[in-house]
Amino acid sequence: MTIGIFELFELELTTLLTCVLIAFLGGVVRGFTGFAGSLFMLPCYTLLLGPIPGMNIIILSGLVGVTFTIRRAVKYSQKRITLFYSLGLCIGAFIGLNFLFQNEISEITFYMGIFILVGTLILFSGWRYNGPQTRFISLGFGWITGLFSGFFGVPTGPFTGIYFLSSPVEKNVIQSNIQLVIIFTILSFFAYFIFVEGFDSRFLTLGLLLSVPLSIGLRTGIFLFDIVSEIYFRYITYAVLFCLGIALILSS
pTM for this prediction: 0.76
Distance CA 158, CA 121 (A): 9
For 180, list phi and psi in degrees, rounded to 5. -65, -40
Phi-psi region of 4 (alpha: psi -120 to 50; beta: other; left: phi over 0): left
Q: What is the pLDDT of residue 9?
A: 56
Q: What is the pLDDT of residue 239?
A: 76
Distance CA 173, CA 139 (A): 19
The answer to whether 141 and 163 are in contact (CB under 8 A) is yes
Q: Which residues have C-beta within 8 Å of that of residue 69, sequence separation ≥ 6?
A: 179, 183, 218, 222
Q: What is the pLDDT of residue 190?
A: 86
Q: What is the pLDDT of residue 1?
A: 43
The answer to whether 70 and 181 are in contact (CB under 8 A) is no
Distance CA 129, CA 85 (A): 14
Q: What is the pLDDT of residue 89?
A: 92
Instruction: Produce one character per residue of 9-20: b if its CB has 16 or more CB atoms within 10 Å, e if not.
Output: bebeeeebebbb
Distance CA 96, CA 49 (A): 22
Query: Measuring CA to CA, which residue among 112, 100, 95, 5 is closest to residue 49?
Result: 112
Query: Measuring CA to CA, which residue among 70, 168, 181, 86 is closest to residue 128?
Result: 168
Q: What is the pLDDT of residue 87?
A: 94
The answer to whether 184 and 210 are in contact (CB under 8 A) is no
What pLDDT tens digit does each residue of the chain (252 aa) get? 444 454 555 678 888 899 999 999 888 887 776 666 777 788 888 888 888 888 888 888 877 767 767 887 888 888 889 999 999 999 999 998 888 888 776 777 787 788 778 777 877 777 777 788 888 999 999 998 898 888 877 776 667 777 887 777 777 788 788 888 888 888 888 888 888 877 777 777 888 888 889 889 888 887 877 776 666 666 766 777 777 778 778 776
Q: Where are the domains of the chain?
A: 12-251
Q: What is the pLDDT of residue 2?
A: 41
Q: What is the pLDDT of residue 59?
A: 84
Distance CA 179, CA 191 (A): 18
Burial of 129 (0-12, 13-18, 19+ CB in 10 A): middle
